[in-house]
Structure 1
Amino acid sequence: MSVPVLETVRRGLGDLLFERVAGPEGPRRRDRIHGTPGPRWHAEDSPVRTVHGDASMFVGGIRALLLQSLHPAAMAGVAQHSGYQGDPWGRLQRTSHFLAVTTFGTAADAESMVAAVRRIHETVTGTTDDGTPYAAGDPHLLRWVHVAEIDSFLAAYQRFGAGRLAPAEADAYVAGAARVAEELGATDVPRSTAELADCLAAYRPELRATAAARETARFLLLRPPLPLPARLPYGVLAASAVSLLPGWARRELRLPRLPVTEATLVTGSGRLATGTIRWAMAPRR
């Protein structure tokens, strides 16, 4: 394949992926996020930017959703307020915009974005199936959502990323990512990988798969809202995400474990898929 044709393919695939993840407002938002001068929450060479700017986030995002669903209060909030099955791409685009602004945008824009999300959280309240009340602004629940996310993003980067963070860099990632969680209202946020592991373990007694959590897993893994040609590559990303889940989480969600297949076929296919995304979405000269 000639260089011009290969470049056309790359641009076409990159545009398609970007439009799906960022939505119709994506180009305008991208220009504002990266083009507006001013101080940022994270330095250009920070591990937070390294991880959040990598294609492995496609895997990490799926794992995060599966893991987060195992907290009954968090799952009830999503099921009752987000409309994720009716508008999954809209939810993805809103989430990616939030991550982009708080990772790469100016401090002023990041603060405005966090304030907007906090206002939304004030309206998200209800009760779980067993009658337990919840509120999205609860610091304990916010911390769970945060630790499930950063554990997933970090795990995905370490296996499928363009590089691998050294232990000190991984600690710096956890510490840097804590900024957003604290701004949203979370408390006692972990600041190292050791604290992250301890925090996840402390939540374990609260975690279980509700009917809504298992329905979310089926939706994400078996019924994604994608055309048939996109199902195979998405399936590779989804299988890669499942391969990163802890064993107890898989058992709760009734997801099988195939050690040999995952160590070879899934890992290799996942690296190929994220490498292709990375190639397609690389900055253009």
Structure 2
Amino acid sequence: MLKTIRDLLQPPPGMAFDFSQPGGEPALAPQNGISWRVFANPVALFVGGVTAVLLELSEPSVRSGVWDHGGFQRDPGLRLRRTGFAAMMTVYGPRSAAEKLIAQVVRMHGHVRGSTPGGAAYHANDPRLLDWVQATAVFGFTEAYHRYVQSLSPPEKDAAFTEAGPSARLYGATGVPRSWAAWEALLGSTAPGLEGSNILDDFLRIMAEAPILPAPLRPLQRLLVRAAVEITPEPVRSLPQLRGRGLRVGEARLVRALARASVLLPLGATPQVQAARRLARSGGNT
């Protein structure tokens, strides 16, 4: 169990990175901020990441881009770890390395284009789509932490979006929300275009059955997927593919216990620990 949680916080194979170097270089996100707390919790990361993808897959253009080019069907575990590593880099990585990684992703997105089944053209670097992807990620991780780890105040929830702003703008999300109220406004304006599809069903099935956690822990994996559905906001949570697939009676308490216990485990040199070591040589960043 300990090794599994540790692996979820580490870069995927072939992407090893020492977050403790170079000494003193600040990150894009402040060391004393909400993001550093949220991304240190593996349960919040898993649950929030699934919630974010559910929201992404409900937007037709994003759904086509993610499903046709994102790798979820081929290797969902690797896809989640690669996405998690990119997020870790924007929160804990030295700014120069984070900027380099984001630039690489932007170049890759430049080749991701096509048409939805309904005939609408999409391009992964479309600022409108980037705003949605970036906003849903911040919402997912923050809400998972708020619901299952520790309650956040309204100013802390606002800060999560503020802290994500520098990296989001580097990705090209020029209109990304800068507060919780702005996120709710974006959700409200996007809601009329959100829709269900068989892909949502496929994604939930993959996340429940894929060998992301070892076989003995597969029931726990399915529990965390239900926890992600539970915090998905309306109108997506009421889509036919998600209806009735949230937590069962008493399960929220279990998820909270798991999330809070995970921070007590000796996880070793996680990205957060390494980054704190790097910043200790300059007094940190604010």
Report the TM range for the smaller structure's normalisation.
0.7 to 0.9
Structure 1 residue 216 and structure 2 residue 166: aligned? no
Residue 25 (structure 1) shift: 4.7
Letter in 1 for 2:129: L
Alpha-carbon shift at residue 258 of structure 1 (Å): 8.1
Residue of structure 1 aligned with 2:138, choices 150, 168, 192: 150
- CA drift at 1:20: 4.9
Distance of 1:86 and 1:281 partners within structure 2: 32
Counterpart position of 2:264: 279
What is the CA–CA distance in structure 2 between the aligned matches of 1:276 and 1:224, rounded to whole Å? 24
- Change beyond 3 A, Cα 1:166–1:251: closer
Partner residue of 1:199 out of 177, 180, 186: 186
C-alpha distance in structure 1 between counterparts of 2:261 and 2:136, whole Å? 26
Q: CA RMSD in A?
A: 2.2
For the 8 Å contact 2:131–2:173, the answer to whether it is kept is yes
The alignment status of 1:33 with 2:22, answered yes or no, reads: no
Q: Could you tell me whether the CA contact under 8 Å between 1:75 and 1:213 is conserved in 2?
A: no
CA–CA distance in structure 1, aligned partners of residues 14 and 71 of structure 2: 20
Q: Corresponding residue for 2:253?
A: 268
1:102 alignment counterpart: 90
1:140 equivalent in structure 2: 128
Deviation at 1:240, TM superposition (A): 1.1
Task: Determine the C-alpha separation between the residues in 1 that align with 2:20 and 2:231.
Answer: 31
Matches of 1:258 and 1:102, distance apart in 2 = 32
Structure 1 equivalent of residue 67 of structure 2 = 79
Counterpart CA distance in 1 for 2:33 and 2:169 is 18
Task: Give 2:12's match in structure 1, choosing from 23, 29, 32.
Answer: 23
Q: TM-score, normalised by structure 2?
A: 0.85
Residue 247 (structure 1) shift? 4.2
Instruction: Name which structure has the greater RCO, CA cutoff 8 Å, separation 6+.
Output: 2
Partner of 1:4: none
The SS at the match of 1:92 is helix
What is the CA deviation profile of residues 52-88 of structure 1, one whole-angstrom value per residue up to 9, with x for unaligned ones? Answer: 2223122111111111110111111112112212111
1:161-216 deviation per Cα after TM superposition (whole angstroms, max 9, x unaligned): 2x332221211111111222111011221111111111111111111012223322
Give the superposition deviation at 1:281.
5.3
- Relative distance call for 1:194 and 1:205 in structure 2 (3 A) is same
2:174 is the counterpart of 1:187: yes
Match of 2:280 in 1: none
Q: 1:239 maps to what in 2? A: 226
Which deviates further from its counterpart, 49-58 or 148-157? 49-58
Please identify which structure carries the higher helix content. 1
Q: Give the letter for the 1:58 counterpart.
A: F
Aligned partner of 1:176: which letter? Answer: E
Task: Indicate yes or no: 2:45 matched with 1:60.
Answer: no
Question: Which segments of 5 or more consecutive residues in structure 2 lack a partner in the other structure?
Answer: 274-286
TM-score (norm 1): 0.85
Give how far 1:282 is off: 4.0
Q: Which structure 1 residue ranges, 5 or more long, are not aligned?
A: 1-12
Residue type of the partner of 1:119?
Answer: R
Q: Quick one: distance in 1 between partners of 2:31 and 2:240?
A: 38
Moved more, 209-218 or 172-181: 209-218
Aligned residue type for 1:24: P
Cα deviation, 1:8-65, whole Å, max 9, x if unaligned, reads xxxxx33333335533357x42xx2233321221221111211122231221111111
CA apart distance, 1:95: 0.8
Distance 2:84 2:255 in 1: 21
Q: Which SS does the other structure have where 1:280 is aligned?
A: coil
After TM superposition, give the deviation of residue 283 of structure 1 in Å.
4.1
Q: In structure 2, the residue corresponding to 1:42 is in which secondary structure?
A: coil
How many pairs are equivalent?
266
The answer to whether residue 80 in structure 2 is matched with residue 92 in structure 1 is: yes
Contact 1:147 1:200 in 2 (8 A): no
Match of 2:159 among 150, 157, 172: 172
CA displacement, residues 243-268 of structure 1 (integer Å, 9 cap, x when unaligned): 11224213324323489x64x51211
Residue 9 of structure 1 is matched in structure 2 by: none
Q: Distance in 2 between matches of 1:144 and 1:128?
A: 17
